[in-house]
Amino acid sequence: MIGHNRTVREQHEGGGRGASVRRRGASGGPGNYLARHLQTFFYALGQLSLKPFSTLMMVAVIGIALAMPAGLHVLLRNVQQVLGGWDSAAQLSLFLHHQTGEAEALALAAQLRQRQGIGSVEYISSMQAMAEFQRHSGFGEALSALEENPLPPVLVVYPAIELQGPELLAQLRQELSAEQAVEIAQLDMQWVKRLYALMDIGQRGVWVLAAMFALGVLLVVGNTIRLAIQNRRDEIIIIKLIGGTDAFIRRPFLYTGFWYGLLGGVVALILIELALWLLSGPVNQLALLYSSEFRLARSDLLTAASLLGGGLLLGLCGSWLAVGRHLRAIEPT
């Protein structure tokens, strides 16, 4: 804090020269204020660079704490992308009346494709349904002996991605079951509800972990700043004796917390990108086995900004709480 102390001494030199300095400072106040903040801003970074090992350890702890919930959020977003692009994630089977002709069924399919909230519609005729049933049931010869095909034509409706939710799907199923040609509208709602319940649990878990790790970052930064205040106790007393204000003393500690949080956010972003890079190879191979073009989504601009901004804010808040509590306890005697 040598440069910081020199500023205090310069501001408190006596006599008429001090008065003239104050008059000049009043005329150029905003520029001088900004210059002092910039000086303290880079002074705090310089102090951290003098202790590279301890600074690296501190930044690594903050980065890991921020990377855990953010990484789970990115992973959950990729899972949602998989489910959103999985055609069988949610589908409605409309069993038509047995006497429904192919022309009428195709007309209904074309009508449903124009409907909002429906992604695509697949038509399965009675003949196609019977042929598929014969292939997979193992009763091909017995079914061939039937005089009449008992299977009705079916329309398989794939809802749009934005409509894939339990309540919306239930409403769509009720609306489609009211169509005159539809005899039964079937949807496995229990499976859909379980799927989205698991997704909700995952999202809630991410927020819980984020809150817990954020509290941990606040405590770590606060304890580090508290130790820094105790180590500079004598300097703080001297600054207060020559007229330094609490705001003036608080400033370098706040910028120290700022740098801790910002650098921790950068480390968290690097860790997440490294983890996604390590996972991308096996995930791509698994996608190829399922004839899928799925690729892991990387951290977007919003995630990066949230990490950096969240780390910065937590660093500032942790240092502000520590300085506000411990600085008042240091008074010249």
pLDDT confidence of residue 37: 76
Q: Which structure tokens are listed for 165?
A: 């939710």
Closest listed residue to residue 68, CA positions, set 333, 236, 307: 307
Closest listed residue to residue 96, CA positions, set 197, 183, 213: 183
pLDDT confidence of residue 187: 77
pLDDT confidence of residue 164: 59
Q: Any bridge partners for residue 155, and if so which?
A: 94, 123
Q: How many angstroms separate the CA atoms of 295 and 81, rounded?
A: 10
pLDDT confidence of residue 322: 87
- The letter for the amino acid at 58 is M
What does 296-320 look like in DSSP terms, one character per residue? -----HHHHHHHHHHHHHHHHHHHH
| Domain 91-186 in CATH 3.30.70.3040 | yes
Q: How many angstroms separate the CA atoms of 232 and 254, rounded?
A: 15
pLDDT confidence of residue 145: 57
**DSSP conformational letter for 89:** G
- List average pLDDT for each run of 10 residues in the chain, which is 333 residues long: 47 39 45 80 86 90 92 83 57 84 87 83 81 64 62 83 69 83 78 75 89 92 88 83 80 90 93 90 81 77 88 91 80 70
pLDDT confidence of residue 181: 85
Give CA 296 to chain center in angstroms. 15
Question: Cα separations (Å) of 143 from 124, 127, 129, 130, 150?
Answer: 18, 12, 12, 8, 10
Q: How many angstroms separate the CA atoms of 327 and 321, rounded?
A: 10
Asked if 63 and 271 touch (Cβ cutoff 8 Å), the reply is yes
pLDDT confidence of residue 21: 37
- The letter for the amino acid at 300 is D
**DSSP conformational letter for 329:** T
**DSSP conformational letter for 188:** -
Question: Cα separations (Å) of 49 from 44, 46, 54, 173, 269?
Answer: 9, 5, 10, 63, 21
How many residues in total does the chain contain?
Answer: 333
pLDDT confidence of residue 274: 93
Q: How many angstroms separate the CA atoms of 112 and 306, rounded?
A: 41
Asked if 82 and 294 touch (Cβ cutoff 8 Å), the reply is yes
Q: How many angstroms separate the CA atoms of 215 and 209, rounded?
A: 10
Annotated domain spans of the chain:
2-21+34-84+196-326, 91-186
pLDDT confidence of residue 266: 94
